[in-house]
Amino acid sequence: MNFEERKYVLIAAVIFIAIVFVLRLFWVQVVDDRWKAEAANISERKVTIYPARGLIFDRRGALLVANTPVYDIMVVPREVRAFDTTAFATLVGVPVPEVARRLKEATAYSSYKPSVFEKQIPSDQYATIAVHLFKYPGFYGQSRTLRTYPQRIAAHLLGYLSEVDARKVKEDPYYKPGDVIGVGGLESHYEKALRGKRGVNYVVVDVHNKVQGPYKNGLYDTLAYAGKDLYTSIDARMQAYGERLMRNKKGSIVAIEPRTGEVLCLVSSPTYDPELLVGRVRNTNYVQLQRDTLKPLFDRALQAQYPPGSIFKIAQALVALKDSVITPRTGFPCNKALVGCHNHPNAQDVQHAIQYSCNPYFYMVFKRIMEQGDPRDRFTVAAINLDQWRKDIMSFGFGQRPNIDLPGAKGGNIPDAAYYDRIYGKGSWAFSTIYSLSIGQGEVMAVPMQMADMACIIANGGWYVDPHVVRAIGRADSLVHDHEERHYTVAPGPDLGLVREAMRRVVEEPGGTARQARIPGITVCGKTGTAENPHGKDHAVFVSFAPMEDPRIAIAVYVENSGFGGTWAAPIASLLIEQYLTDSISRPDLEKRMLEADLIADEHLYRRKPKQRGR
């Protein structure tokens, strides 16, 4: 057979096969009703398998955040048939008009892809719905999990989950409409570790909406991988106790293990029950919390920027000693004509100045820092010295955002020469313009986390490590902060020892401003502060560490509108220190007074009176 003959044979074979296929298709699709019925009765469905989100534990293994199962009602618009809208609305628990609106939105998104019709239905409610769902083609249930909080503490630190918005869906292809994402706290910072990886199952369903089995024996299915667990440094018992002590008070508590930078507790008050932002009631509760005038959603520990008040005198003294503008034995009289102060003996040296918290003393200290150099050009000298002073102060962690594994932290403010040039004009300001910085007032602002870092610096003898909440990810032994970088200050070691002793005297010796912070059998070092508040009663602040000989905890307590630092902030700090170090409280009367105090109510009754300053 020649080439031409073979060509015609091949063409004939192709035509014959094509005719066979066409006839077969005609038979299946037009003549044989059995195949049409089968095609109408079965369809393929893509079911997303949502992974369990990672759990969150405290430093002792207590569960802070867990998961509880819920269900979403999904809809595939092209599969929906005519149904009793009123009955379906009653079954699912939505208003009748909502049914049509949500179907319209789902169709606008895609007729072929599933959309969330109703989300986060508790498992007991879904059990009632599920037995009737077969009556409504196109609708089916899909399981997922919601967060639950066994301890009901640390709401700001933990964060919460919220549905992703359209912008996030567009930015990140991982997320689909209806997905949830971490907002605030650890949920946000560790979102990628916690969320896990979604899986997909392809199943065959019949006309009654019942699953008949896997599609292609699961050939195209993918596994879901659970999120990684977080093991934190938080002490749940201390956190809960701190929140109780701060009830009916505005302010914050930050406690850190000074040598490691591990955050032991992070209290912002007023706080809220984290269960309020879970499930279908989340949006309603969020709006109510947002409208609350006490701002319970505001994280005061990381975002509130306050004048540090007299605790700033610690850093001022160390910078002045480093610059040699004073010596450890330098004394100044308590001259109230310079700046207001409370009654105490004259400070004969630096240690007594810190012990008594003498404002005029630190006025003179800051004056010497600012007036180093040629006295004939005090404006230029002030600008140069302020910039150097700012650099030195920032080595204590002030003026920069704390590098913590939580979102939203603020950096406070340490002004430089350019700052005052913009306000007053270049060459138009000097020490006499900015003297309020000497006692931690004026334009100086700090967040409580920075105050706790400063306490760590004194406790450690000149350095701190970046604070962090998470110790391990995935497994309790997979530590993520083994070898943290130390940030050293400009202060020489001998000067730090001098300040440690001065802080001991603040608590332990007569004339100290924090005598209420004494703990039997534990040497506490601390410093009080009273930050002026032009809108009401002054704010109280206290920084501390203990035991002096081997510091295991550094703490900062800030109580708004409460007066002197030694009256409220210092006792609260000392109770937390004692509870953490001894797991007990030896001063029940002091504890009772702190727990029962309602300083928010007291503030409403407050009438401004002449007040002392700077303690």
DSSP 234-284: --HHHHHHHHHHTTT--EEEEEEETTTTEEEEEEEES---GGGGSGGGHHH
What 3-state class would DSSP assign to 516? helix
Answer for the pair 479, 487: CB distance below 8 angstroms, yes or no. no
Domain ranges of the chain: 3-31, 45-232, 236-605
Answer for the pair 538, 530: CB distance below 8 angstroms, yes or no. yes
Residue 200 β-bridge partners: 48, 222
**Mean residue pLDDT across the chain:** 89
Q: Which amino acid is at 320?
A: A
Convert the pLDDT of each residue in 140-198 to its tens digit: 888 888 899 999 999 999 999 998 988 888 899 888 887 889 999 999 999 999 999 98
**Residue 224 above 90 pLDDT?**
no
Q: How far apart are CA 243 and CA 324, in angstroms?
A: 43
Lookup: tokens for 66: 């867990």
Convert the pLDDT of each residue in 471-518 to its tens digit: 999 998 888 876 678 999 999 889 999 999 999 999 999 988 999 999
DSSP 190-240: THHHHH-B-EEEEEEEETTS-EEEEGGGGTT-B--BPPPPEEE---HHHHH
pLDDT, residue 36, reads: 43
| First-to-last C-alpha distance (Å) of the chain | 114
CATH match of 45-232 with 3.90.1310.10: yes
Radius of gyration for the alpha carbons in the chain, expressed in angstroms and rounded = 33
Least confident of 51-60, 222-231, 302-311, 546-555: 222-231
Convert the pLDDT of each residue in 36-45 to its tens digit: 434 444 566 6
Answer for the pair 470, 405: CB distance below 8 angstroms, yes or no. yes
The band of 21, judged by pLDDT with boundaries at 50, 70 and 90, is low
| Common-topology check for domains 45-232 and 236-605 | no
The band of 610, judged by pLDDT with boundaries at 50, 70 and 90, is very low
Domain 236-605: CATH superfamily, name plus number: DD-peptidase/beta-lactamase superfamily (3.40.710.10)
**Residue 607 above 50 pLDDT?**
no
- Who has greater pLDDT, 546 or 219? 546
Least confident of 39-53, 344-358, 519-533, 552-566: 39-53
Residues 6+ apart with CB under 8 A from 573: 253, 517, 526, 542, 544, 555, 556, 557
Convert the pLDDT of each residue in 253-269 to its tens digit: 999 999 999 999 999 99
Identify the residue whose tokens are 């060509």: 7
Which DSSP symbol is given to 347?
B
Torsion on CA atoms 357, 363, 364, 369, rounded to nearest 10: 110
Taking residues 573-595, what's their average pLDDT? 97
